[in-house]
Amino acid sequence: MIEKNKELLADIGKERYNHSIRVMEIAVELGKIYKADINKIKKAALYHDCGKITSTEKIIGIVKEKNIKITKEDLKSPEVLHTNLGEYLAQNKYKIKDQDILNAIKYHTTGRAGMSLIEKIIYIADYIEPGRDFNGVEGVRVESKINLENSVLMALEKTISYLESKNKYIHKNTLEAYKYIKNRRVDTLKKKIESNIKSILEAASDKKAYNYKLIDISKISSIADYFLICSAGNTKQAEAIADNIIKKMSEEEIRINHKEGYRSGKWILLDYNDIVVHIFVKEEREKYNIEKIWLDGRDINVEKFGIENWS
């Protein structure tokens, strides 16, 4: 064992040291999956709890005595203070200079908005190391190998409800980490829906659909996010449009939820959950004028998707 490790062992004790080794093993495993710098991962994992040298109460004292900079938030969540002391000791005692490693140590308990790959790996490895045994940990373990960010979100969610149940103060970093990932997921979902809209529009255009009206109703309805209405020359063309949309979407492995033909095929409805498509034969569209129902929705120009529109 190298000198520095002995120092660490002496500082944090055998039990915490063994915990750190277990965190390191998991972190290395994840580091390989997600192509992180393994040397940095090893160091960050080994030292992540280097500030956990005594009880929380005593750590508060040490932090004050050493004049380590802490925020009001940190003081309100004393369990987190070992990360402030950890960052300090990593720098001053263990001579770690790498900022990514120092951040992984500093944010390993709360996480933060915009965590780096190494920060996420250390955060989650600490959460799922084999010594952890709480309800739901196995699910986070499985997810960590499939989608790291998802697993971080799961861990944050669990931590927040745990802290709420214990009536403990939730650190700003914990909440911000959670919101950050949640928002990113909403963005990803939105992009996916938009790519589906593009596919639907292209499939419809291939079969001579026209006079598109695309309405974003996400703010006013829970039925769907988007309504797409278009016209067809006759019932045969309406059917061809519907078939082509279904074909193209299934090629992209998106299954239709529900199809309906009204008025002997003069009005076809395709329900893709997030997107509902209405294909009308011209006269029927004028007769039902369903776009009127969604006047409060936000109109989107389909040219944004590279589709020419004509009426």
Which residues contact Fe ion (rule: CB under 5 A)? 49, 126
Verify binding: residue 119, ligand DGI, rule CB under 6 A.
no
Residue with Cβ nearer ligand DGI (103 or 205): 103
Token readout for 126 is 């600490």
3-class DSSP state of 217: coil
Residue with Cβ nearer Fe ion (127 or 212): 127
Element (H, E) at 83: helix 81-92
Distance CA(138)–CA(68), nearest Å, equals 36
Verify binding: residue 168, ligand DGI, rule CB under 6 A.
yes
Give residues 66-95 in contact with ligand DGI (rule: CB under 6 A): 77, 79-80
3-class DSSP state of 239: helix
The distance of closest approach from Cβ of residue 306 to ligand DGI in the complex, given in angstroms and rounded to an integer, is 46
Token readout for 77 is 């969540």
Token readout for 242 is 């519907």
Residue with Cβ nearer ligand DGI (8 or 238): 8
Residue with Cβ nearer ligand DGI (40 or 108): 108
Give residues 23-52 in contact with ligand DGI (rule: CB under 6 A): 49, 52
The distance of closest approach from Cβ of residue 270 to ligand DGI in the complex, given in angstroms and rounded to an integer, is 45
Angle, in degrees to the nearest 10, between helices 117-128 and 38-47: 50
Distance CA(228)–CA(307), nearest Å, equals 13
Residues that bind ligand DGI (CB under 6 A): 49, 52, 77, 79-80, 108-110, 126, 159, 163, 168-171, 174
